[in-house]
Amino acid sequence: MTDHISTAQQEFLALIGAASEAEGKSRISGQIIALLVFEGRALSFGELAVALGVSRGSISTNTRTLEARGVLARVQRSGERQDYFELVDVHSATLLREISQRLDRTGTGIEDICARLSHSGGDSGHGACARLRDYAAFHHIVAKAIATASDEIEGKTAHLRPGDSVE
Amino acid sequence: MTDHISTAQQEFLALIGAASEAEGKSRISGQIIALLVFEGRALSFGELAVALGVSRGSISTNTRTLEARGVLARVQRSGERQDYFELVDVHSATLLREISQRLDRTGTGIEDICARLSHSGGDSGHGACARLRDYAAFHHIVAKAIATASDEIEGKTAHLRPGDSVE
DNA sequence: CGGTTTGTTCAATTCTGACTGAACGGTAGA
DNA sequence: TCTACCGTTCAGTCAGAATTGAACAAACCG
């Protein structure tokens, strides 16, 4: 029976690891999140390294960045010398907010280019500028949509125990 | 004045190229889209290679995948031997729909794992299964939000073409 | 027919960044 | 103090993807 669980766990880790890579993040960082979701409890530094079969150095760097991104928290247990990690309860919403902010940043970056262009170039680049503004607007619209979804999910996950229906 | 435009173009290409890499796509594919947006007209195969400073082989592979993804269209000009490429007018919406579908696929992938787990593993993996379903639901919610944004953007961009036809 | 242009393909190359592993500093207990 | 353990760091390694460039086939023109 633990067999079934562990194969399911392996499949889950592989799936999320691949998804993590597909969106530009490292495989391990995705799998750390996946393992914490699967286990539903705080895991120690050593447990992560063993369960994922990766070096302690990788655990260190990846947990640090995940911590800085506000996805997981490092917790100390009295009497234990190892660090433990647990998911922030709004970790999914945090990831969405991150994406939303990056889109907004790209959008304003486009607008900045457009502003400099129309300021110094007269109206020769007018058509291009209009298209760039549309393209920037697209980024902002998507950012807004994702931010809204983030709020929705945050409202559902905050202070809710896992297993509650989200439908 | 063309100076200003070309520096703005270079900045735009760099920005979108980096954004493209950040989300797991190739730099060149993002820059092809960016160049077509900036120019606002169909560009030839050769123009793309020269303007982006990349090999013809790269243009070939990237335009093919973008074409397959429904982002741009290959058009022939009578009398011209070169292929020309232009953006599909709903190209942004198409990219969003692609992301939405990938999220849905990941979500159902998680649900499949969960189904196999609860079917064969008894109730020992019950807690994990509940958490996995929540995690799958998260993916579906985001997919839905992005799909909605895609529809919104499609509605905004489709009417820009005068005398447009539906499908 | 040859010569030119064009797009595709694929083996080779380059490049990026993830990952490792060992050295290091810090901490707690004996 | 010494020892054992723990997390961090970083130079080195490695894998996979992106990109190149040359070979190739097709279409066109003289």
Residue A162 counted as domain residue: no
pLDDT at A39: 96
Helix, strand or coil for residue B122?
A: coil
pLDDT at A14: 97
Residues B78 and B119 in one domain: no
Strand C reaches within 7 A of the B47 CB: no
* Virtual torsion, Cα A75, A76, A82, A85, nearest 10 deg: -10
Residue A164 counted as domain residue: no
Strand C reaches within 7 A of the B111 CB: no
Question: Which residues get their CB within 7 angstroms of nucleic chain D?
Answer: A 44-46, 56-57, 59-61, 63-64, 81-83; B 24-29, 53-58, 61-62, 81
Residues A76 and A106 in one domain: no
- The integer distance in angstroms from the CA atom of A126 to the C1' atom of D8 is 52
Residues A110 and A37 in one domain: no
CB-based contact A113 B15, cutoff 8 Å: yes
pLDDT at B52: 98
pLDDT at B6: 87
Q: Which domain holds residue A15?
A: 2-87
Residues B68 and B97 in one domain: no
Q: What is the pLDDT of residues A62-78, one digit of tens each?
A: 999 999 999 999 999 98
Q: Which of A125, A135, A166 minimises the CB distance to B5?
A: A125
A32 pLDDT above the threshold of 90:
yes
Residue A100 counted as domain residue: yes
pLDDT at B166: 40
Strand C reaches within 7 A of the B79 CB: no
A90 pLDDT above the threshold of 50:
yes
> Is residue A124 very low, low, confident or very high in pLDDT (cuts 50, 70, 90)?
low
Q: Which of B42, B61, B87 is the last residue of a domain?
A: B87
Q: Measure B144 CA to nearest chain A CA, in Å.
A: 9
Q: Which of A24, A121, A166 minimises the CB distance to B4?
A: A121
Residues B7 and B82 in one domain: yes
Cα A18 from Cα A43, distance rounded (Å): 22
CB-based contact B137 A37, cutoff 8 Å: no
Residues A116 and A51 in one domain: no
pLDDT at A165: 44
pLDDT at A121: 58
What is the secondary structure of B44-101 as a DSSP string?
EHHHHHHHHT--HHHHHHHHHHHHHTTSEEEEE-TT--SEEEEE-TTHHHHHHHHHHH
Cα A43 from Cα A87, distance rounded (Å): 10
Take residue A110 and report the two structure tokens written for it. 């486009």
Q: Which residues in chain B are contacts of A40 at CB distance < 8 A?
A: 127-128, 131
Residue A166 counted as domain residue: no
Chain D positions with an atom below 7 A of a protein C-beta are: 5-10, 17-22, 28
- From first to last of its 167 residues, chain B has per-residue pLDDT tens of 466 668 999 999 999 999 999 999 999 999 999 999 999 999 999 999 999 999 999 999 999 999 999 999 999 998 899 999 999 999 999 999 999 999 999 999 999 999 998 777 566 678 999 999 999 999 999 999 999 999 999 998 875 554 444 43
Q: Are B94 and B88 in contact (CB under 8 A)?
A: yes
Q: What is the ipTM of this complex?
A: 0.90
Residue B166 counted as domain residue: no
Residues B77 and B132 in one domain: no
pLDDT at B63: 98
Helix, strand or coil for residue A105?
A: helix
CB-defined contacts A:B, below 8 A? 142
Residue A167 counted as domain residue: no
Residue A34 counted as domain residue: yes
pLDDT at B123: 66
Residues B13 and B71 in one domain: yes
Q: Which of A67, A87, A107 is the last residue of a domain?
A: A87
pLDDT at B120: 73
Residues B78 and B7 in one domain: yes
Q: In chain B, how many domains are there?
A: 2
pLDDT at B164: 44
Domain containing A27 — which CATH number? 1.10.10.10
Q: Which of A42, A64, A87 is the last residue of a domain?
A: A87
Cα A130 from Cα A114, distance rounded (Å): 8
